[in-house]
Structure 1
Amino acid sequence: MFACGLENAAANVDCLHMNESAKPDAIYDVAVVGGGPAGLAAAIALSDAGAHTALIARRVAYGDNRTTALLGGSVELLRQLDVWGRCEADAAALRVMRLVDDTGRLIRAPEVRFSSDEIGLDAFGYNIENRALMVAMEARAAEAGSLTRIDGEAEYVMPDDAAVTITTRQGETLTARLAVGADGRQSLCRKAAGIGVTRRALDQAALTFNVAHARPHKNISTEFHTPHGPCVFVPLPGDRSSVVWVTSPKEAARLKALSDDNLAEAAERQSRSILGRLQVGPGRNLFPLGIERPARFANNRIVLVGEAAHVLPPIGAQGLNMGLRDAADIADVVRGALSSGEDPGSPRALARFEAARRSDVLSRTFAIDIANRSLLSDFLPTQTARALGLHLIGRIGPLRRLAMREGLAPSWRQRPYSETRSSRS
C-alpha cells in the first residue's frame, strides 16, 4: 500500500522497514508534509527526537542539477543526523569567498576576500549538488526507526483543537498532533493553518548551470556584482563549479537560449577568465526571483519550514540553510515537549517555534533585501554607502570577522526549548 517506488530488492527491504507500522487512520506525534531537503531533514530530526513521525511525500528522483552551499551549522546538523558522511565525498569545501564589484559604476566597492582560516575554520561550508544530498537524506530516512514514509501527496489538511487530519490523493488518512508544512511556496499546510503570506516579485531571474574549467578553483567562491544582480561561481569537486547568474528576466532568458559554447563564452567573460576556458555541463534552470514571508510561522497545530516559511533570492546562500535551521528548531521543540509530557502541537509549543524562527528569518530577509537593493540602485548616495560599507569590512579585521561569523549563522540564536526551560527556572 505504501510502495516507495524503489528499483532494487535491497532498497525495497529498507522501504518496508520504514513503513512497517504504517496503517490507514494511524495517529502520529508529528506528520511532515513535503519531501524536499528541509522536509526530509525535519522528518529525520523529529524521528531522532523520539517522535512517532509520518513523512508524506512522493519518492521521485531529484530532477535538476542545482547545488547548495551548506554553511556552518547546516553541515553540523547533517552530521548529527548521520547524513553528512553519506555525501561528504560529493561536496567541495568553501574556504575563501571573494566579492568583486563588476558594476562599472562611477563609485565602486573594492574587492573583499573572506577567508575561513581567519575565524579558525577549515571551511565556511561545502557546496554540493542537491541530487547527491537528496540521495543521502533519502537513504538515512529509510533507516529511521520511528519514521513512517507514506509515498503520496497530501490533498486535504484539516486542523482542529485536538489534532491535524491529513488525507492523501491516494485515499489514505492519518492524524497527527502536529503537522510540519514543508510543502513549498504554494503550501497547502500554510493555507490550512490560516496563515497569510506577503509576496514581492523582483525584476530579476536566476539562471543556474554547472561548468568544467581549465584552471583549479582552489576552493574559492567568487561573486561578481553586476548592475542587475550577482553572478557567483561556486566550487564543486574537481575542476568544476556551479554558476548562479542573477540578472534581468529578459537577459536570463537570452542566456538560457544560447548554445553550450556561447554560454561558456559569456560565462568566461563574466568571470574575467579566472577559471580559464569553460565547458557548460548538461542541464540549465531558470526561475524568477521574489521574496515571500508568512504572517506567522506556526498556527492551528501547524508549523512551516523551508520555502513554505521563507522565499529569498539566491544571495548569501541563505535559503536551504535557514530551512535546515527550521528543521533543527522544530525537532528541538518537539523533543522538549515530549520529554515533559506536553502536547507537541499545543499553543505553547508552537509559540516556542514561532519565537525561535521569527527573528532569524526576518533578520536574514531584511539583510538580503537591503544588499540586493543597494546593488541594483542607481542612486549615488546608496552606491557610496554600499562601497564604503564593503571598504570598511575589507579593511577592519574585527568587523570582517564579525560579518563572516554572522553570515554563517546568527550568533545570538539559541535552541528554543532550552531557552524556554532556562526562562522557567
Structure 2
Amino acid sequence: MAQAMKIAIVDDEQDMRQSISQWLALSGYDTETFASAEDALKVLGPDYPGIVISDIKMPGMDGIQLLKKLMGADSTLPVIMITGHGDVPMAVEAMRVGAFDFLEKPFNPDRMSELAKRASNARRLTLDNRALRRELSGGTQIMNKLIGASPVMERLREDILDLGQADGHVLIDGETGTGKTLVAHALHAVGSRAGKKFVLVSCAALEEEALAKRLFGPMMPEDTQLPAIEEARGGTLVLEDIEALSDTLQARLLSVMNEQGTPAETRIVAISNLQEAGKTSEDVLRPDLFYRLAALRITMPPLRQRGEDILTLFTRLSEQFAEEYGCDAPQVSAQEAAQLLQAPWPGNVRQLINIAERAVLQSRRGSGTIASLLMSDHEEMQPVMTTEGKPLKEYVEAFERMLIDNTMRRHKGSIASVMEELCLPRRTLNEKMAKYGLQRADYL
C-alpha cells in the first residue's frame, strides 16, 4: 500500500488549523500545521512529499506571497488556497500564480477531501517521475554504464526515460561504437516491459532465408527456439543492423507491425548501423517502415562531441582494466589529457575501450605512451575524421576536473589527503568541486 501523502496546513487561526487537520487525518492523510507562512517555508522544500492547504489572508506574509515562494522553489507542488466569501479577485490571482485550486469559506469538508485526493495523486505522480529520473541519472546497473555529464549525455538519458515510458517502436541510429545496443537495453529496462522478454537479433549475421525463419518462422518439429516475433511477445525485440533487411523482409516486418495495432504487443527497437558514407537509414528502408520506426528516434552522440566525458570514461575504463590485470591504472598527464580530448575517435566508445586496455597493458610493462596508441589507431581506422578545436580554457578545466576526480577516488573522499596531494587550500578545493559537480559523498 502506498504511503499516505503529507498535507501541510497553513493558517493563523488555531481552530481552523485543527479542524482541517482532524478532518483530513480521518481520511488517512498525515497532516502537519503551521501558524504562519514563515514557519511553513522552513519545512516546505522542492521535494516536499505532499501538498499544501493555505489560507490567503494572514498577518505578515500572506497566502499569495507564500504561494509565489513555493512556486519559485517547486512549480509542481499542489497548493490549495482558502479564500473568504466573495474574494473572487484573490482566487483568480492565486490560480494565475499557480495554485492547484481554491476553497471558498465556508467550505464543504467533502469538497476539501476530494481536492486533497486529486492534488495528492498529482503530487505522487510527479514525485514518482522525479525519482525515476534520478534513478536514470545514476541508479540502475545499465544506466551506470551511460557515463557522462556532457549536455548531449544528459539529453540522451532524458530521451531514454521519456521513450522508455512510451510504448511505440523506436529507431536508434548513430555512428559505430557509440553504444546503440546498450541504449536498447536501457529503453527496455526503464519501461513497463522491463520484466518481459528482451530478444536481440542481428539482421546482418544471417542469410536471408535463415533470417526470415529466425524472425517469423515457421517452426519445424526439431526447432527448440520460437521465432523472434513470438519469443519476444509482450516484451522487446531488438533488430540490429535493420538496414540489412531485404525489401521482402522489410515488407513482412511492416505487415506484422500493422497486425499488432496500438499499443504494440511486441515493441520493436531497430538499430541502424550504416557504414556507407552519406547513407542514412531513411535511404535504405521502405518509407512506410522507416516512418513507423522513426516516430520515436534516438540518435547517438559521437564521442568527439562529448567533451570531458572522454577523460571520465578513460579513467573509469583504465581503472577497471587495471583491477582485471592486477596493476595500477596509468596516470594521465596534462598533455595526454589534451591528446585524448583532441582525438577524432572514429571508433567512438568502442575505440576508447580498446585504447584504455592497451594503455593499462603498456603501463604495466613500463613503456609506451597514450599518444602512440592514438597515432597507431588513427592510422589503422579509416576514414579519419577531424575534430573542432576547443579553447585552451576547456582543456585546462577538463584536465583539472579529471585530476580532482582521480585523486578523490584514490583517497576515498579524504579531503585532507586530496588537499595535501594537490597543494590546494580547503576553500579552493571546495569551490572547484562545486564548479565541476563533484560531491565528496560519491567517493566515500
Structure with greater helix share of residues: 2
Bigger RCO (CA 8 Å, 6+ sep): 1
Structure ID, larger Rg: 2
TM normalised by structure 1 equals 0.24
Structure with greater strand share of residues: 1
TM normalised by structure 2 equals 0.23
